[in-house]
């Protein structure tokens, strides 16, 4: 297991995702810069799994920048839609990346599938983080959180599908939670809540970094 890099590129052009990853990385004390700040091109995500796409993005950023890179490939998997939108979660937002549209598209698909009762609206968020070095070495970490879909959307915090996802055991959607609550770090908690925080916690627990 390699030591955590002193300087790291966050391999994303998604401002909300970069912000959350910065918040998670801050305790590690490494220098952080995003792929967007370096004006790196966005690679085509041709993988069939979250792991494959995370690796594509991390390796592209690491090789283009010459620094280790951390990517995150994440998505919403709805049981009534056979796991969709899944790895194509961003595509449901269209070319303008309109997640109000994406949330509406998912809800319409669920209604068409007859998923109207709470028991039929189960879903999970998945995040896979990939840490890649310019020499091609990669390490992968996966986090998941179960929950149910709600409608209409609730809350204006977070990003993406957060306002329609109610994590299991909670009464507030991710869209109603601030960053600390969503990740599970507030009020002395040491249990990661969000899918992204769970992937990050696994990365730390397996020896990458020390917080």
**β-pairing, 31-34 with 7-10?**
parallel
Rounded Cα–Cα distance for residues 105 and 10 (Å): 29
Of 73, 82, 162, 190, which one is the catalytic site residue?
73
**Per-residue pLDDT tens digits for 154-194:** 999 989 999 999 999 999 999 999 988 998 875 455 679 99
Say what angle helices 15-25 and 195-205 make with each other, to 10 degrees.
40
Give domain limits for the chain. Answer: 7-205
53: how many CB neighbours lie within 10 A of its CB? 23
Q: Does residue 210 have a pLDDT over 50?
A: no
Q: Which residue has the tokens 């303008």?
A: 96
120 is an active site residue:
no
**Per-residue pLDDT tens digits for 55-85:** 999 999 999 999 999 999 999 999 999 999 9
Under DSSP, the state recorded for 186 is: S
Radius of gyration of the chain (CA): 17
CATH of 7-205, picked from 3.30.750.210, 3.40.50.1100, 3.40.710.10, 3.90.950.10, is 3.90.950.10
Q: Which residue has the tokens 């909300």?
A: 16
């Amino acid at each position: 297991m390699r030591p955590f890099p002193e300087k790291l590129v966050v391999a994303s052009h998604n401002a909300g995702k970069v912000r959350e990853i910065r918040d998670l990385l801050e305790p590690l004390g490494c220098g952080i810069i995003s792929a967007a700040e370096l004006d790196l091109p966005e690679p085509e995500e041709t993988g069939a799994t979250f792991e494959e796409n995370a690796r594509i993005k991390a390796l592209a950023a690491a090789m283009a920048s010459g620094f280790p890179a951390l990517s995150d490939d994440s998505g919403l998997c709805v049981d009534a839609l056979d796991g969709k939108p899944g790895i194509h979660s961003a595509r449901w937002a269209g070319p303008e990346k309109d997640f109000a549209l994406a949330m509406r598209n998912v809800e319409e698909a669920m209604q068409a599938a007859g998923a109207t009762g709470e028991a039929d609206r189960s879903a999970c968020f998945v995040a896979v983080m990939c840490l890649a070095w310019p020499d091609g070495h990669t390490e992968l970490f996966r986090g998941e959180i179960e929950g149910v879909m709600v409608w209409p959307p609730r809350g204006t915090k977070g990003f993406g599908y957060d306002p329609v996802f109610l994590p299991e055991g909670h009464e507030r959607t991710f869209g109603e939670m601030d960053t600390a609550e969503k990740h599970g770090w507030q009020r002395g908690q040491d249990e990661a809540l969000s899918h992204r925080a769970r992937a990050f916690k696994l990365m730390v627990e397996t020896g990458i970094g020390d917080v």
